[in-house]
Chain A
């Protein structure tokens, strides 16, 4: 009996797949609200074309496209992370579709090109980075909402902040890079590490952060704008702010090479960048920023204007620089923060306690020790000089499949890990000593 039902089911599978003409398959990591809204609007405007949404996380999406033979792949890739599109482009899995671009959209947003310079993927919506917080959580812990990144370094926020790891989340990588470019390498890392000392968790998914802030697990999250805005408009007690040091970057859409239905797929891409498609972004459950100027759309009152945010932003974001040192930045972050969070929290706590004690009872020797502890804890393990060295960067771009390369890279990572651990331990010691001096 099991066999017959199996055979029957196989037959059904075959039948359901037969009707493929007029179907556009879209591979995306976007939430259901967004894809459903576009699916409904597009199918209504284009009777006869069916939209099939395949939702996979970025890693699964890339693996899926890469493993399928040409002709069986989905038609459109639609996602936030620019690094995913970079990988697809490098593997020749994207096809140009320049005719789908809306000419009414600006070429640049702030200093960031809206579309891929190679013309393989295009900006479809915009996103800026900032901080979201849970108002109930902050009230219960008697905290005020932060406004700038630097606020997050204050001792009162210790253990209340969350971020996702830049090696896991393309959006966080851009945030980290924005801070590094805005402040310069050394100062940028110091600011970043001071913030990270206050962090309660480094999540492996971007969505883990807004999720945790929404349910009150964390007080403050470092997130992309629509995570904060969508939570707020869905009724959660959360709010969002753009710090002045932010970058506005596009979420992208691209035509996959070797899809089944390129012509109609282009129709869909054109639709997402058209006036009607852009207007959909204002839906409170979606809450993303459009690429078209507000003069052409009906924006809700008080809705953030990306052009205005980008203008206000102090950073001139250099995407080539970000790309060149991607592996170094994410690797260093993982070794100094993600994998060593407990130690970093420990020394941060000790430093904050010592500073509080010294404030009540100043002591010059203590002051000096704390200064040393700070410099041990909050200095990057790669110098600004090193990160400009092409040879050094080149090593990180080489394939880890080469045992020698892998050995060298493991050696460097091991060095960072050891050094970070030693520094945090020494700093904790120094800070504790400083604190005892102030007693």
Chain B
């Protein structure tokens, strides 16, 4: 199996329905290119690995492995646990994210931009370092519990079992909701709110009946991501030592040395199916509802002033939330300047030498991370926007499949995708050279793009769902072609959501580990996440590992802040250019 046959298959599928007009041709082309991309870099590589779930020893097709799977109680138990944790995480993440989004968008708030940027940081939890930092702060012998024990004589086992997983997952992934909700709320037509106010809706009622429903696409996009991500997440349960969940069960079976157990792949298939089911349900909720508003930019939600005690309450709440969600980052920062930190509230002594080590060792890694993740996130946005457009604005057959295909990547363990890449591109050289593909970083970048595409896609879909189609019809009746309508009308109106997608793709790619480890074929092409992994494999490497983690957070945070600034500026110019 190779790329050429995959693209051949897609090309053969194309002429089935002939484009009626030349205007449609471009659409079909985009459709075809995306399909080829997804097939070549997602479906085929994964298929090469997980077909094991469907065949027996001799290679014949069988569903026997699925039968065996459902007979085991441990798997049924794992399934239920994964479901409970995912739902609970969505609930907790909502409680964290909704007030943050609402307060900062709807009220005049000093430092709103800073709060929104800080609110994204939890997504950047560098591998291993983040986990160690969490343990140092909230763990059995973490700072919080040591202090509690010293002063009050009790401890809170918040890092234990399913509760612990839910706790960590929700403070890690709530930014998915925050980002998408903020983008959606900014898109709400201020006139809607004014009408509601005129009709007498105030406060909680206004929020519950008008604002929140109008921001629904954003919330749902975020909540679905949280659900699917938590359902498929592997790192957190493993680090907390919880094995009775689906993802760890799959991982433990796929990665046991010398044990090629098809049941691991059966679990992968089930996780993919379930993730797609969740997305489908979310789409069902949205179906037949209109969330679009006509007016954009010029009159967004009005910012209101908070009264004295209100703002005290708001700042207090935000402070507490940020303190808890940023605790791991504070922990990483402390680790990076600590000499020895063991069973104590704070480190014993401080030093800056870890940063010196990192700066002499790995400036190349920072560069690599920026390059790979920038390219990957850029690619994601282009593809995400195109898919969103094709699904929401055209009637091309099978368009929904693009969404489901792309989103399947959420449920694929990085290791499986990486093995698939090595298998598929074995013996394939980079175009115009005799360098084997598998020796380049191109595969790392593609793996990032494919694995993080669902994030960008959800944001783009939510953004487009809020754009009223008549805006495009107006442009088209004024003589603009489809392409220039997209370029001059659709994309600018979607910009906020696209940016949210870019940011999520970028920062989550920056801390991707499992595919990175397998696909890195030389030190010179290693990104920061690999460097962090390397340092965190040894006791004396913990300091430099944390220092590199801090750098990763800083680099990504600066990127996020700048892109927010960029959006604010474009919004400002759009607003001022409108009468």
> Interface residues, chain A, CB within 8 Å of chain B?
2, 6, 9-10, 13-14, 16-17, 29, 31-34, 52-60, 62-64, 67-69, 72, 81, 83-84, 86-87, 90, 134, 136-137, 140, 167-168, 170, 200-204, 207-208, 210-212, 214-218, 227, 230-231, 234-238, 285, 327, 330, 334, 338-339, 341-342, 399-407, 410-411, 413-414, 417-418
Contacts and interface: CB of A to CB of B under 8 A. Distances in A.
30 contacts: A6-B375, A9-B371, A13-B441, A14-B435, A16-B524, A16-B525, A17-B435, A17-B522, A55-B530, A55-B533, A55-B537, A57-B517, A64-B422, A136-B342, A136-B343, A140-B343, A170-B257, A200-B140, A202-B243, A204-B243, A204-B252, A211-B132, A216-B342, A400-B261, A402-B57, A404-B64, A406-B262, A410-B69, A414-B73, A417-B72
A420 to B, nearest CB: 11
Residue from A211, A227, A399 whose CB has the most chain B CB atoms within 10 Å: A211
Given A216-B344, A234-B540, 8 more contacts: A31-B537, A54-B521, A67-B423, A72-B436, A202-B243, A212-B135, A216-B342, A401-B260
A215 B342 contact: yes
A203 B523 contact: no
Contact of B517 (A56, A87, A405, A411): A56
Nearest to B342: A216
Contacts of A201: 241
A83 B258 CA distance: 8
B68 A410 contact: yes
Contacts of A55: 530, 533-534, 537
Given A14-B433, A401-B260, A407 B539 contact: no
B52 interface: yes
Given A33-B540, A64-B422, A217 B257 contact: no
A63 B422 contact: yes
Nearest to A405: B57
Nearest to B425: A67
A255 to B, nearest CB: 19
B181 interface: no
B375 A2 contact: yes
Interface in B304-347: 339-344
Interface of B: 52, 55-57, 62, 64-65, 67-69, 71-74, 132, 135-136, 139-142, 161, 238-239, 241, 243-244, 248, 252, 255-263, 339-344, 371, 375, 378, 415, 418-419, 422-423, 426-427, 430, 433, 435-436, 438-442, 517-518, 520-525, 530, 533-535, 537-542
Contacts of B258: 83, 86-87, 90
Contacts of A203: 241
A169 to B, nearest CB: 9
A399 to B, nearest CB: 6
Residue from A2, A17, A84, A200 whose CB has the most chain B CB atoms within 10 Å: A17
B538 A230 contact: yes
Contacts of B238: 204
Given A32-B534, A406-B263, A17 B422 contact: no
A406 B259 CA distance: 12
B438 A72 contact: yes
B255 A31 contact: no
A31 to B, nearest CB: 3
Nearest to A418: B73
Contacts of B343: 134, 136-137, 140, 215-216, 237
Given A10-B430, A10-B442, A237-B340, A33 B538 contact: yes
A50 to B, nearest CB: 11
Contacts of B427: 69
Contact of A32 (B239, B525, B535): B535
B230 to A, nearest CB: 19
A64 B539 contact: no
A13 B440 contact: yes
B440 A60 contact: no
Contacts of B540: 33, 230, 234, 285
B342 A134 contact: yes
B518 A64 contact: yes
Per DSSP, are chain A's interface residues mostly helix, strand or loop, or mixed? helix
Nearest 10 A/B pairs, CB to CB: A216-B343, A31-B538, A403-B64, A67-B422, A402-B57, A136-B343, A216-B141, A201-B241, A87-B258, A59-B255
A109 B139 CA distance: 40
Contact of B426 (A58, A69, A285, A342): A69
Contact of A13 (B135, B257, B435): B435
A410 B441 CA distance: 40
Given A215-B341, A217-B139, A59 B257 contact: yes
B69 to A, nearest CB: 8
Nearest to A36: B361
Contacts of B426: 67-69
B71 A58 contact: no
Contacts of A327: 259
A417 B249 CA distance: 14
Contact of A2 (B68, B261, B378, B534): B378
Nearest to A210: B539
Nearest to B427: A69
A52 B523 contact: yes
A134 B441 CA distance: 41
Nearest to B382: A2
Contacts of A32: 534-535, 537-538, 541
A283 B74 CA distance: 45
Nearest to B238: A204
A407 B64 contact: yes
B175 to A, nearest CB: 26
Residue from A6, A55, A215, A216 whose CB has the most chain B CB atoms within 10 Å: A215
B342 A13 contact: no
A84 B257 contact: yes
A86 B542 CA distance: 31
Contact of A417 (B52, B73, B435): B73
Contacts of A57: 517
Nearest to A408: B68
A63 B518 contact: yes
B248 to A, nearest CB: 8
A413 B72 contact: yes
A83 B259 CA distance: 11
B33 to A, nearest CB: 15
A60 B415 contact: yes
Contacts of B542: 211, 214
Contacts of B422: 63-64, 67-68
B415 A68 contact: no
A233 to B, nearest CB: 9
B525 A53 contact: no
